[in-house]
Homo-oligomer: A and B are copies of this chain.
Amino acid sequence: MSAIKFCLAQLNFKIGDFEGNTAKIADTIFNAKQKGADLVIFSEMSVCGYMPDDLLDYPWFVEKCEQSLEAVAQSCQGIAAIVGGVMRNPKKGRLLQNVVCFMQNGRIQQTIAKTLLPTYDVFSESRYFEPAQETEIIEFKGHKIGIAICEDIWDIYNDFEYKISPGTILKELGAEIIINPSASPFHLGKQSLRNRVFSGQASRFDLPVIYANQVGIHTELIFDGASRVINSNGEIALQLPDFKESIQYIEFKDQQFQSSNTVPIEPDEIETLHSALIFGIQDYFKKMSFKKAVLGSSGGIDSAVVQALLSEAIGADNVLAVLMPSQFSSDGSIQDAKQLSENLGNTFEIIPIKDIFDQYTSSLASIFEGREFNVAEENIQARSRGVLLMAISNKLGNILINTSNKSEMAVGYSTLYGDMCGSLSVLGDVYKGQVYALARYINRNEVIIPQEIIEKAPSAELRPGQKDSDSLPDYDILDEILKLYVEGRKSKDEITMEGYDSQVVERIVNMVNANEYKRYQAPPIIRVSSKAFGKGRIMPLVAKFQ
């Protein structure tokens, strides 16, 4: 049997940009042909991007998708390709199918639909697609190739078990290789999970596996690439980089993949988190055609880390920091914030909010008369800052970036329409403890974030002498309780049994529940954990919680 030279195309697609996406695919096929490749593999739903959500309910969207697949097929002369897209379901059931097309001789030769449709967390494929009813094999250059689309190879790696194992069926049908075109989003720990899944499945089926992931962001989701080729013994023969486009070639000969490629060493968690957030910001700005950002710079750790990440992602020249001290801001905080902007080379503006605050309280005096300073006055400060930042954004065109972290988003220690404003939340899935770790990582070579910002006790500075620890437990305890509740879905009793004070647990869990309404109106959050606030966590607002 003849060898096959595969081209693995890990590309960045934009949802609904049929013209751009098909041009990119056709170019890649053209170049791969020049390099003597036999078969080019693209990721899941390449022509339309993953995931168009309810754009799939629009017939014109699906028609464009089908037309794009037809158009791309015409490029496949003297070379073959596997290209993902969406097509109408020709039979009874849901209207669409998530498919890959095997293209050769200028046309679509076979269309293979996805069998297992992920419908949990950020996935809702059963909302749109009818699962494949049968499994077929592709015959290519004397070899039998099996296609398992993304989830199709994850049959035994979920909380629940699927009732069908597409890999097992492909093996029975005589497949010699499994190709797995994917749109697999990143979260911390996903890489080692993939190691387990791909090596496990390759060994289980005794077949080599080619995992072709997409790369790029779609609002909350980061697709990290890191495509790979695994031999049937479970060993990685080739791994593509994460967080960038890459096109690589590999030969399949004597039933295995030949590669001299060394597998990259996996970076540690904070380095990965840092890369993910930088990429998340960068690709968001690029795909939205945004250039400049604005953020509120308080002299606290959260805004400092966001400011540093933004500066790296879109360039220090493009970041405008706005310092908005109130009468409760410490001199230290203002100094620290100025120092940070200087260290980063960002433009900064100082707009004290005392006069605005006073104007509000004076306008509200008759209504507020006889009532004590409380959360109302605290929130006026946070919201005045929101108004200023949005005014600057509206006037100058800089995009407001949110600086809230996951811990405070969880317990509602943030002001709706105040510091919760923004087009994108960079740290909304990053716990406070991880924010500190990011700050130390950012400072790994030189002091970028002033040490004072990292060392001082966290405070919202919305009333005299306020400290986060006045009303919250220490962040290391808070973060652990939150992880157990939000990600681990433990009950109060179960969390207490892990060794936490029952009153603290009670209070924290109640705070999380009581603040669902705030998160309902939060900006989109870059997802870096396996359970982020946002589209992957749908909670009722009107409910009695535990």
Tell me the A residues contacting B by CB distance below 8 Å: 14-17, 20, 49, 51-55, 57-61, 92-95, 119-120, 124, 126-127, 130, 159-163, 217-219, 284, 287-288, 349, 351-353, 355-356, 359-360, 362-364, 366-368, 371, 374-377, 379-380, 383-384, 386-388, 390-392, 394-396, 416-417, 421, 423, 489, 491, 493-494, 517, 520-524, 535, 537-546
Cross-chain contact B542 with A284 (CB below 8 angstroms): yes
Q: How far is the CB of A95 from chain B (nearest CB, A)?
A: 5
Cross-chain contact A542 with B61 (CB below 8 angstroms): no
Cross-chain contact A364 with B391 (CB below 8 angstroms): yes
A538 neighbours in B (Cβ, 8 Å):
53-54, 124, 535
Q: How far is the CB of A46 from chain B (nearest CB, A)?
A: 15
Cα A123 to Cα B194 in complex, Å, equals 31
A386 in complex: contacting residue of B49, B60, B219, B383, CB < 8 Å:
B383
Cα A362 to Cα B356 in complex, Å, equals 10
| A491 and chain B: residue at smallest CB distance | B60
Cross-chain contact B218 with A540 (CB below 8 angstroms): yes
Cα A376 to Cα B93 in complex, Å, equals 49
A421 neighbours in B (Cβ, 8 Å):
417
A17 in complex: contacting residue of B95, B120, B493, B544, CB < 8 Å:
B544
Cross-chain contact B364 with A392 (CB below 8 angstroms): yes
Cross-chain contact A94 with B16 (CB below 8 angstroms): no
| A93 and chain B: residue at smallest CB distance | B163
Cross-chain contact B126 with A543 (CB below 8 angstroms): no
A517 neighbours in B (Cβ, 8 Å):
423
A363 in complex: contacting residue of B51, B284, B355, B366, CB < 8 Å:
B355
A49 neighbours in B (Cβ, 8 Å):
543
A374 in complex: contacting residue of B60, B161, B395, B416, CB < 8 Å:
B395
Ordered by A's residue number, 16 sampled pairs between the chains whose C-beta atoms are within 8 Å are A14-B542, A15-B542, A53-B538, A93-B160, A93-B163, A95-B160, A120-B127, A124-B538, A218-B542, A349-B367, A351-B367, A364-B392, A367-B395, A367-B396, A368-B395, A383-B390
Cross-chain contact A392 with B417 (CB below 8 angstroms): no
Cross-chain contact B391 with A417 (CB below 8 angstroms): no
Number of copies: 2
A355 neighbours in B (Cβ, 8 Å):
359, 362-363
Q: How far is the CB of A414 from chain B (nearest CB, A)?
A: 14
Q: How far is the CB of A271 from chain B (nearest CB, A)?
A: 25
Cα A491 to Cα B61 in complex, Å, equals 9
Cα A326 to Cα B390 in complex, Å, equals 19
Cα A491 to Cα B491 in complex, Å, equals 47
Cross-chain contact A380 with B387 (CB below 8 angstroms): yes
Cross-chain contact B380 with A363 (CB below 8 angstroms): no
Cross-chain contact A524 with B544 (CB below 8 angstroms): no
| Max count, chain B CB within 10 A of own CB: residue among A219, A349, A421 | A219
Q: How far is the CB of A59 from chain B (nearest CB, A)?
A: 7
Cα A377 to Cα B376 in complex, Å, equals 24
A95 neighbours in B (Cβ, 8 Å):
159-160
A521 neighbours in B (Cβ, 8 Å):
521-523
Cα A218 to Cα B387 in complex, Å, equals 32
Q: How far is the CB of A247 from chain B (nearest CB, A)?
A: 23
Cross-chain contact B524 with A58 (CB below 8 angstroms): no
Cross-chain contact B387 with A360 (CB below 8 angstroms): yes
A124 in complex: contacting residue of B54, B124, B374, B375, CB < 8 Å:
B124
A387 in complex: contacting residue of B57, B288, B383, CB < 8 Å:
B383
| A51 and chain B: residue at smallest CB distance | B540
A384 neighbours in B (Cβ, 8 Å):
387
| A162 and chain B: residue at smallest CB distance | B93
Cross-chain contact A540 with B161 (CB below 8 angstroms): no
Other 13 A-B pairs with CB < 8 A, given A54-B537, A355-B362, A356-B356: A53-B539, A58-B546, A61-B546, A93-B160, A119-B119, A119-B126, A126-B127, A351-B367, A359-B359, A367-B395, A375-B394, A379-B391, A380-B387
Q: How far is the CB of A127 from chain B (nearest CB, A)?
A: 5
